[in-house]
Amino acid sequence: MRAGTVEGLEARLIATIPWVMRHLLAHARRRRAWKSLTYQQYNVLRIILGEGPMPQADIARRLLVTAPVVTRLAGSLVEAGLVERGRDPNDRRTVQLALTASGRRQAAAMRRDLLAAARELIEPLAADRRAAVASALEELQVLLPGRDTR
């Protein structure tokens, strides 16, 4: 596979994205807010912070995981005092998750730390390379569901 072929592009995408995330998370985990929670737990907090209280099943769909995975994640977050379980007012059978005040602070701190870690990775790049990365990330948005495909 040559780098200029579609197959080469596919292989590079598959090879690059996970390594970038691992590197980013390794930098974030050096910070205090990331010491006790996993990336999956952060994603649960992040989704609830952005969307408000929501059913566990909706969080599972957003994370592309099964309901038992979110149940386990929610259990650990409830034990940590970051999330509360409740009933959906529209469907009493549905378990809904909401952030506690501590959960909102934790989610915000983890986001700040993740952004700082990203900045730490990007800052050493020359301005033209940063611009190229920004452009490439903009183009990658078309791969995501519900995004503009032009």
How many residues comprise the chain? 150
| N-terminal to C-terminal alpha carbon distance within the chain | 28
Q: Is residue 148 part of a domain?
A: no
User: How do residues 27-64 score in pLDDT, each as one tens digit?
Assistant: 888 888 898 899 999 999 999 999 999 999 999 999 99
Phi, psi of 46, rounded to the nearest 5 degrees = -60, -45
What residues contact residue 46 under an 8 Å CB cut-off, 6+ apart?
A: 107, 110, 111
For residue 73, what are the domain limits?
A: 6-143
| pLDDT confidence bin for 86, thresholds 50/70/90 | very high
pTM: 0.80
Domain count, the chain: 1
Average model confidence (pLDDT) across the chain:
89
Residue 138: give its domain's CATH number.
1.10.10.10
* Per-residue tokens: 51: 């969307």
Q: What's the one-letter identity of residue 123?
A: E
CB 101 within 8 A of CB 115: no
